[in-house]
Homo-oligomer: A and B are copies of this chain.
Amino acid sequence: MASIADTPSASKPSVVPGDLGWHLAMVLRGYQTRFEDTVSDLPGGIRGYQVLSTVVHRNPPNQLALASHLGIDRTVMTYLLDTLVKAGLVERIPDPSDRRARKVVPTTKGEGCLADFEQRMAAVERQFLSGLSEREASELESTMHRLAMIVHREQPGASPCEAMDNLP
């Protein structure tokens, strides 16, 4: 029976090209599973949370900016917002300076709801990174943050929310 001893031994991690992608996918899947469980009560699940969080913390000027910040299509954003509006968590208010556009703002209920779920999410993230040292975890977060910014800027469709992503 072939055992693991047959495989070429690796002195450094990620010696096989493509391994980085495998690791990213595995980590993201694990994270999303925990995320999903945490926000399953929230309308729209993970994306509902992300929309609510973006609306509250980043104040996007319209739906398109909101959608492209989260990397989702504007057609999907319509459905998502319908769900959140129906649940009374956000509102669509017309932009007086551009009557085509609508600005999405949280309701009082939405803000309270987000605050509640953020506490749970923070606990989940801490638990998720608990296998790493304090320093490793914070370095991972900051490196991922930088890399995400680089990727997002090079991605098509990033333009409408550039202003939101150039925070220090």
Given A26-B71, A148-B26, does the pair A18, B35 have CB atoms closer than 8 Å? yes
Q: Find A4's partner among B10, B22, B141, B167 (CB 8 Å cutoff).
A: B167
Give a binary string over A1-18; 1 marks a CB under 8 Å from any B CB, 0 the rest.
111101111100110111
- List B contacts of A28 (CB < 8 A): 21, 24-25, 28
How many of these chains are in the complex? Answer: 2
Interface size class of A (residues with CB under 8 A): 35 or more
Q: Dominant SS at the A interface?
A: helix
**A14-B142, A16-B118 given. 10 additional CB < 8 A pairs?**
A13-B145, A20-B125, A20-B128, A22-B50, A23-B145, A24-B28, A27-B147, A29-B71, A29-B151, A140-B147
Which residues of A approach B to under 8 Å, CB–CB?
1-4, 6-10, 13-14, 16-33, 35, 46, 49-50, 53, 57-59, 61, 70-71, 97, 103, 118-119, 121-122, 125, 128-129, 131-132, 136, 139-148, 150-152, 154-155, 163-164, 166-168
